[in-house]
Amino acid sequence: MRVVIASCSVDYSGRLDAHLPLATRLLMVKADGSVLVHSDGGSYKPLNWMSPPCRLTVAEPDDTDAEQGVREVWTVQNAKSDDRLVVRVHEVVADHTVELGVDPGLVKDGVEAHLQKLLAEQIDLLGPGHQLVRREYPTAIGPVDIMAKDPDGASVAVEIKRRGDIDGVEQLTRYLELLNRDPLLAPVQGVFAAQEIKPQARVLATDRGIRCLVLDYDAMRGIDDVESRLF
């Protein structure tokens, strides 16, 4: 990963146009090809970014840019569309490149890991006729909890959480974006499964065409006491 702190301006063109005026920002270039532009606020979300597959080229500024103090022009071109991110670097404060190696992936807590195992064993909870493909389906950005097939043979990616919030929906969205680039899998449906799904997460998931599934942990473990239920 390359991490650069620089005074820069940023222009994005493609499906929409956006401009970030000159300011000091954090530029991240990841091994998977993605480029992200961060400020010192906004939590974990970048101000702008380009997801892989894309290509980064660094060039000398033209006369107009050079007169305005630009030292380098980064052009990040999406490989499958006209989307383009142009970063005009005026001053580099720090520039570090570190080999992070292979990430072992997110280690889930005991409940999430058990929910994954139980849902794989009870895959019909996704709906009649679903079939398990595998658990921990590998992708370039981490493993998908469960990959399955629906009765029509379409691919279904399942993200499992103990408590489902917006971050989990965002995570599944990134997986779906990557998986749908594979012609052997596309179109891939998304299912966001959790013991509890927050209303905001449900709204976001529905807006993105992701189905929500509430999991009854006790029932899946076979310890649900039907006698003690009020309804």
The 10s digit of each residue's pLDDT in 8-60 is 999 999 888 999 999 999 999 998 889 999 999 877 889 999 988 899 999 99
Distance CA(96)–CA(5), nearest Å, equals 9
Asked whether the predicted pLDDT for residue 156 surpasses 50, the reply is yes
pLDDT of residue 107: 57
Asked if residue 42 and residue 74 are part of one domain, the reply reads: yes
Distance CA(66)–CA(89), nearest Å, equals 10
DSSP for 195-210, written as a single string = EEE-HHHHHHHHHTTP
Distance CA(172)–CA(104), nearest Å, equals 18
Asked if residue 138 and residue 91 are part of one domain, the reply reads: no
- Output 176 or 141, whichever has higher pLDDT: 176
- Contact indicator for 35, 56 with CB cutoff of 8 Å: yes
Check which CATH number belongs to the domain holding 75 and give it. Answer: 2.70.180.20
The 10s digit of each residue's pLDDT in 44-53 is 889 999 988 8
Asked if residue 139 and residue 78 are part of one domain, the reply reads: no
Domain count for the chain, please give it. Answer: 2
Asked if residue 31 and residue 7 are part of one domain, the reply reads: yes
Asked whether the predicted pLDDT for residue 106 surpasses 80, the reply is no
Residue 224: band (very low, low, confident or very high) from pLDDT cuts 50, 70, 90:
low
Nearest to 13 by CA among 88, 86, 74, 80: 86
Asked if residue 210 and residue 134 are part of one domain, the reply reads: yes
Strands 48-50, 35-38: pairing is: antiparallel
Asked whether the predicted pLDDT for residue 104 surpasses 90, the reply is no
Asked if residue 93 and residue 16 are part of one domain, the reply reads: yes
Distance CA(112)–CA(108), nearest Å, equals 6
Asked if residue 129 and residue 90 are part of one domain, the reply reads: no
Asked whether the predicted pLDDT for residue 190 surpasses 80, the reply is yes
Domain of residue 175: give its range: 111-221
Check which CATH number belongs to the domain holding 151 and give it. Answer: 3.40.1350.10
Q: What Cα–Cα distance (Å) separates residue 53 from each residue in 34, 78, 181, 189, 231? A: 8, 6, 10, 21, 51
Asked if residue 115 and residue 89 are part of one domain, the reply reads: no
Asked whether the predicted pLDDT for residue 69 surpasses 90, the reply is yes
Strands 188-197, 155-164: pairing is: parallel
Would 102 be classed as within a structural domain? Answer: no
* AA identity, residue 112: E
Residue 86: band (very low, low, confident or very high) from pLDDT cuts 50, 70, 90:
very high
Would 201 be classed as within a structural domain? Answer: yes
Would 231 be classed as within a structural domain? Answer: no
Residue 225: band (very low, low, confident or very high) from pLDDT cuts 50, 70, 90:
low
Asked if residue 6 and residue 92 are part of one domain, the reply reads: yes
Residue 188: band (very low, low, confident or very high) from pLDDT cuts 50, 70, 90:
very high
pTM beyond 0.75: the answer is no
Asked whether the predicted pLDDT for residue 216 surpasses 70, the reply is yes
- Output 218 or 29, whichever has higher pLDDT: 29
